[in-house]
Structure 1
Amino acid sequence: MIYAYDKVYLRIAQRSLGEMLSYAVYDLGYELEDYYKRFLQSEYSMRFSKGDLFVITGMSGAELAIRVLDIPDDDIIMPSYNTAKSQEYWTGWILAYYQWENGKTFEMIDKEIPICKIRNMYNPYHEMDISSAILKLREMSQVSRAETYLKKLRKRAGISQSILAEETGIPVKTIQQYEQRRKDINKAQVEYVVRLSKALCCEPQDILEEK
């Protein structure tokens, strides 16, 4: 198995990601999903995924959140010291281990398992051995990959295929074919992909399938 980086840095990475999420939520007042989206859109998400030691070990989790959000020095809030017991800390802690183990980027993981679903695992998995949580994440990933990203994003948005067809002007049959992989979404007209992404409030690349 090829890991994202050397295991000697794993515990530091887990602590850093846990502190980052907890600081963003409890000290900065962000909703977890809103902050995590900012993290995914930043350069630090990919650098962390690839094992950039400056990002993983060169700063604290709070410092990482500050860099992600580009907070001016005068507006920096000192982190609290009880974050290690929060659901968000555990979410980052288990997510860092899962990312290290499978080598996927955080963006790829988020397509399969949204951050809120990982947080919802806190009870009962935070009281179990880490292997139980990782096994559950693998199972969730396998189930998720059975669906196309288009279908997952549509379901997450809470709209039907017919409503999506009305909002985009794309025939409902075509949407069905993309969701069932009878047509390759990666070969769709650029205009179609842009329309779908706007209707689903995501980036165009979020709809495309991994190869």
Structure 2
Amino acid sequence: MTHAYNESYLSNAKDRLSSFFDYAINDCKIKPDWITVLFINTGYAEQFERGNPAYVAGMSGVELARAVILKAYGRKELPKPTNSEECSPEYWAGWALAEYQWYCGRRFKDIFERIPLTKIIGMYSVYHEMDITNFIDTMEEFYKAAEGDSNLKRIRESRGLSQSELAEQSGIKVRNIQMYEQRVNNIDKAQAQTLYKLSRVLGCDIEDLLENPMM
């Protein structure tokens, strides 16, 4: 398998991503699945996943989190990092995820659309004392199992939203969402306004929701 970048940067990447999630979630109180959206949409995830030294080694995890939040929201008062000697589930999730992403070479966008960060954090109690290969093997199983889901379902679940919550926030009837996710109705033929409303709530591009965007 082709790794995402040179292994010499992996230790730094694990340290940065673990601190990034720990600070953003526990200190800044940003929901786990929303910080992944900000991480991706601000462009920092793409630089990180390529092993750009400026991001995986040139700044701390806290600095990375602050850069992401400031770019997403503009000027924002951010708290000081909590100095804790304990490894939080969020910290561990970042540490383990950095190794998984390096191992598989996939984009963070593709990983999070199939395996939400909340699900990875929930793996802490079982996997944090195991060898990292056990985590990687399970992540691969989750990733492949999600391949059959529609793009809408994967993205919705990666945002931690139920069908009814997405319906309420977007103004699209829950039955329509169900029909798109089950592929009974072709989302590629949905009205532009429908796609816009869904993408706005989900924080993604309209093209991300389509099954065959090139058709």
Q: TM-score, normalised by structure 1?
A: 0.80
One-letter code of the match for 1:111? E
Structure 2 residue 21 is the aligned partner of structure 1 residue 21: yes
Q: 1:157 aligns with which of 158, 161, 166?
A: 161
The residue aligned with 2:39 is: 39
Gap runs ≥5 in structure 1: none
The 5 Å alignment of 1:19-98 reads 19-70=19-70, 75=77, 77-82=79-84, 85-98=87-100
Q: Which amino acid aligns with 1:131?
A: T
CA shift digits 1:73-117 (9 cap, x unpaired): 995544333266111111101111111112221111111001100
Which residue number in structure 2 is paired with residue 101 of structure 1?
A: 103
DSSP-derived class of the 2:163 partner? coil
Aligned twin of 1:127: 129
- Cα distance change of structure 1 residues 132 and 190 upon mapping to structure 2, 3 Å threshold: same
Determine the C-alpha separation between the residues in 2 that align with 1:76 and 1:152.
Answer: 31
- Cα distance change of structure 1 residues 114 and 44 upon mapping to structure 2, 3 Å threshold: same
Q: Deviations over 1:94-144 (max 9, x none)?
A: 111111112221111111001100000001100111011111111111111
Please say if residues 48 and 56 of structure 1, whose CA atoms lie closer than 8 Å, have aligned partners that are also in contact. yes
Tell me if structure 1 keeps the 8 A contact 2:47–2:55: yes
Distance 1:187 1:47, change over 3 A: farther
Alpha-carbon offset, residue 193 of structure 1? 2.4
**Change beyond 3 A, Cα 1:124–1:9:** same
Q: Residue 2 of structure 1 aligns with which residue? A: 2
Check conservation: 1:32, 1:116, Cα contact below 8 A: yes
CA distance in 2, matches of 1:32, 1:175: 25
Aligned-pair CA distance for 1:181:
5.1
Q: Give the conservation status (yes or no) of the 8 Å contact 1:149–1:207.
A: yes
1:142-198 per-position Cα deviation (integer Å, ceiling 9, x unaligned):
1111111223456653337xx79xx547995x963x545577645655444224435
Displacement of 1:10 after TM fit? 0.7
For 2:81, what is the secondary structure of its paired residue?
coil
Larger radius of gyration: 1
Q: Is contact 1:83-1:89 (8 Å) kept?
A: no
Identical-residue share of aligned pairs (%): 33
Partner SS for 1:70:
helix
- Separation of aligned partners in 2, 1:77 and 1:151: 34
Quote the Cα distance in structure 2 between the aligned partners of 1:22 and 1:170: 34
RMSD (Å), alpha carbons? 3.3
Distance 1:50 1:190, change over 3 A: farther
**Structure 2 CA distance for partners of 1:134 and 1:59, relative to 1, 3 Å:** same
Contact 2:188 2:212 in 1 (8 A): no
